Structure 1
Amino acid sequence: MSLPNQVRHILSVIEQSMHDLGLWQAMPPEAQAFSSTEPFCIDSMLAEEWLQWVLLPRMTALLDANAPLPTRFVIAPYFEEALKDKQPNCMPLLVLLQKLDALLNIEPE
């Protein structure tokens, strides 16, 4: 399976895991939350909000546009810390985020 297809698959599994864990939200954060300049919008969104409303749509847009995917990509450590109070419930999601990191933490050719 090609890298884009692998990434698309893991993104869909991450979404399903968020649903399963009750982390998926029906309503997005307020518009100003998206204006944050902090990494992961840490000052305006919960980690799971950023994952749902920022990362998943942006990655899907890159895939849909056949645009280059990010490299040296590492988000799992942030989520391990941000969701530590929700572990072990969130362990399946953290494993998926580690897999996404492994797919995208590559040296460009």
Structure 2
Amino acid sequence: MDSRLVALADQLLLIERELRVLGWWEHESPSPADLASQQPFCVDTLTFSQWLQWIFLPRMKVIIETDCGLPERSGIKPMAEVAYQSNLSTVTALLNALGEFDRLIEHR
């Protein structure tokens, strides 16, 4: 695995860790219907932290493990800033982890 993929995998672990630290890591998956939302980030069925845990992290792990082509761009941090605008100071470490993920994706 090349160093960029390793760095991205490490960043995913940091994002997971921050969700756990914040107490937002869930032990039970949302319903299949909630996970199947057609809305961007499943905004109609999941919280942003649920989307990170149940959609984003698993999909990115598969992409990294199979080396099937990374996205050219990532804008996860700006979406998180919108989702958490009422408590930005509480999620600083999570925002930093997401921002570093964005930077690694876009660094070619």
TM-score by length of 2: 0.92
Higher helix share: 2
Give the Cα separation in 2 of the matches to 1:78 and 1:66: 25
Give the Cα separation in 2 of the matches to 1:18 and 1:7: 17
Matched position secondary structure for 1:50: helix
Code of the aligned partner of 1:61: V
Matched position secondary structure for 1:72: coil
Code of the aligned partner of 1:41: C
TM-score by length of 1: 0.91
Give the Cα separation in 1 of the matches to 2:65 and 2:73: 21
Q: How many residues align?
A: 107
Q: Partner of 2:55 in structure 1?
A: 54
Q: Partner of 1:23 in structure 2?
A: 24
Q: Unpaired runs of 5+ in structure 1? A: none
Q: Partner of 1:13 in structure 2?
A: 14
CA RMSD of aligned residues (A): 1.3
Code of the aligned partner of 2:45: S
Deviation above 6 Å: which 4+ runs of structure 1? none
Q: Unpaired runs of 5+ in structure 2? A: none
8 Å CA contact 1:69, 1:104 repeated in 2 = yes
Deviation at 1:69, TM superposition (A): 1.0
